[in-house]
Amino acid sequence: MASNPVTSNYTEDSIRSLDWKEHIRLRPGMYIGKLGDGSAQDDGIYVLVKETIDNSIDEHVMGFGRTIDIKVYDHKVVVRDYGRGIPLGKVVDCVSKINTGGKYDSQAFQKSVGLNGVGTKAVNALSEYFKVQSFRDSKTKVAEFRNGELVNNENIKPTSDRNGTLIVFEPDPRIFKNFHFIPEFLENQLWNYAYLNSGLTINFNNKKYHSANGLLDLLVNRTDDDDLRYPVIHLKGDDIEVALTHGNAYGEEYYSFVNGQYTTQGGTHLTAFKEAIVKTIRDFYGKNFEASDIRTSVVAAVSVRVIEPVFESQTKTKLGSQNIAPEGQSIRSFINDFVKSALDNFLHRHPKTADALLKRIMQSERERKDIAGIKKLANERAKKANLHNRKLRDCRIHLDDRNGDESGESMLFITEGDSASGSITKSRDVQTQAVFSLRGKPLNCFGLTKKVVYENEEFNLLQHALNIEDGLDGLRYSKIIIATDADVDGMHIRLLLLTFFLQFFPDLVKRGHLYILETPLFRVRNKKETMYCYSEEEKTAAMNKLGSTAEITRFKGLGEISPHEFGAFIGKDIKLEPIILKKDTTVHQLLTFYMGKNTPDRQKFIIENLRIEKDIVEQEEELEIA
């Protein structure tokens, strides 16, 4: 009987044992989530920074070190804390041996973020260069690594420097291709550390980050006073802190933290917090309000300290713990008990705030009932259209599948016109890339109510394609990418779409899901080489390299780029520009200035920023002829 070729090739030689760094480098997604190039706030390079800082934060939480110095260069990160310093005899082990660390003893790090002994090792393994230096009791120890391999292990030496730990690393460009740090993403990360750790000062690239009032400062800095219906409610207890207010924007905005860790995907603590807000407010007013009416326009934050927290992944973005401590009270009852007592007491002591909150809830109730009829009709139309939605060319893998490595890579391109959507549709990856085609320019919805989302067929189909009508929990795509022509009309469409998302779904933008697709403006080629250029300067450099006889093509629209070429622009080297709301920018101010009435301020801005761009190459040719 002939042997099965599959089983005959499966022998003892087929079994491999990888050392710690090989496994991390082979399967980096298990340790840091996705890789990326730095254009998304959850890309791997930011996780490397976070894992490094987390150790310094844990030292501060345990009462050691009030300052952290951080410098980020183009491709290098330096972090220096002033805690106790790693025990000198274990410096190498702590950054290169999996399951080695000081956090397995709950007495030493009772409410720590990093408990698995993996974080710093992953940073080491995924760095082209990594250096650790510990300063402890007038002695210091240095170790250096390259790609996880120890290349320099110095002896312990005397030092006059303060106690603490220095980490220097350079992410490996072979793993993080074309990576770059976006300062705004790092600043948001560092501000969160400051808000959650009273008394901590972070010095980042010579800028100081410090918060005296914790979550109160967070909400004050993330909102506009003019939009708030009442002053921020700030409540603190043992191992819990919450802040709460209501604004005028649509949607709900939450910030949740565990042991100083920003849990971007929430978890058991955020679920309990939302439930507690609704229950407490219903009980206080003695009315069975709809939960959505209470939570519409809410801006809130919750932070809890949990002993031995369980997260749903190594990146610690979602809490899975059911209890506040092993064998302790459930997280749900812990948060419910605190909010019921503290928020109820606050509202009794502050009747003006209680009255303003009630008016906000009643307004949300009226608005919900006002659009109920059109909403039902629009949803019925959308349901029929979804069966044969000609505007949507869907993909197979979606973010809300929550399974498989590729769910976080799902994306939706929003294009205008059949030619542009045709090129993308023919060249896309059908596994993770979907296309939604607009018919002409969308409506300018600035200043309109959410009723227009249901009255306008395209807006309604778009919100259903994204599955965001009832919030972002069911969002189907990780990245929503606006893909328009690089001309005046394309820019106008881009602004109108940004207005739509900022007006009605601001959470989508604030959570980093919205992007602009960058496509080349020019193709410069000769018989041997083709170069794609994204600016006039790149075109000039390409012409100098390929010679004056090179053929130049100006792409006026996305439809002019062949599907074969387009595939390269939306593949692994895709260039995306994230839409980032800066800390001091509010949605209302932004939309009023750019999309509101033509005010003198805007006219002045246009005049002062008007540019006439000339073709540099043509200018040079004219000078030569002259």
Q: Which two tokens stand for residue 367?
A: 């608005």
Domains of the chain: residue spans and CATH: 21-210 (3.30.565.10), 215-370 (3.30.230.10), 372-519+565-595 (3.40.50.670)
pLDDT-derived band of residue 115, with 50, 70 and 90 as boundaries? very low
DSSP, collapsed to helix, strand or coil, labels residue 161 as: coil
Q: What percent of the chain has a predicted confidence (pLDDT) above 70?
A: 84
Residue 19 in this model has a pLDDT that exceeds 80: no
- Phi/psi for 594 (5° steps) reads -90, -30
Yes or no: say if 400 and 472 are a contact pair by the CB < 8 Å rule: no
Q: How many CB atoms are located within 10 Å of the residue 69 CB?
A: 18
Q: Which two tokens stand for residue 587?
A: 């949605």
Residue 108 in this model has a pLDDT that exceeds 50: no
Highest mean pLDDT among 36-40, 344-348, 555-559, 569-573: 344-348
Q: How far is CA 203 from CA 69, 80, 206, in A?
A: 5, 10, 6
DSSP 443: P
pLDDT-derived band of residue 273, with 50, 70 and 90 as boundaries? very high
Taken as a whole, the chain contains a residue count of: 626
Q: Which two tokens stand for residue 522?
A: 């020019």
pLDDT-derived band of residue 112, with 50, 70 and 90 as boundaries? low
pLDDT-derived band of residue 626, with 50, 70 and 90 as boundaries? very low
pTM for this one?
0.78
pLDDT-derived band of residue 160, with 50, 70 and 90 as boundaries? very high
Residues 540-565 pLDDT 10s: 898 988 887 888 888 877 777 777 88
Pick from 51-65, 437-451, 576-590: least confident: 576-590
Please spell the DSSP secondary structure of 78-106, one letter per residue. EEEE-SS---GGGHHHHHHSTT-SS-SST
Q: What is the mean pLDDT of residues 302-331?
A: 84
Q: What is the mean pLDDT of residues 380-409?
A: 71
Alpha helices in 117-180 (DSSP H): 119-125
Which carries the bigger pLDDT value, residue 455 or residue 105? 455
Q: What's the chain's average pLDDT?
A: 84
pLDDT-derived band of residue 488, with 50, 70 and 90 as boundaries? confident
Q: What is the mean pLDDT of residues 119-131?
A: 91
| pLDDT at res. 100 | 56
Alpha-carbon radius of gyration of the chain: 27
Pick from 223-232, 381-390, 476-485: least confident: 381-390
Q: What percent of the chain has a predicted confidence (pLDDT) above 90?
A: 35
Q: What is the mean pLDDT of residues 609-626?
A: 50
Burial of 615 (0-12, 13-18, 19+ CB in 10 A): middle
Q: What is the mean pLDDT of residues 17-30?
A: 76
Residues 186-217 pLDDT 10s: 998 899 999 988 889 999 998 999 999 999 99
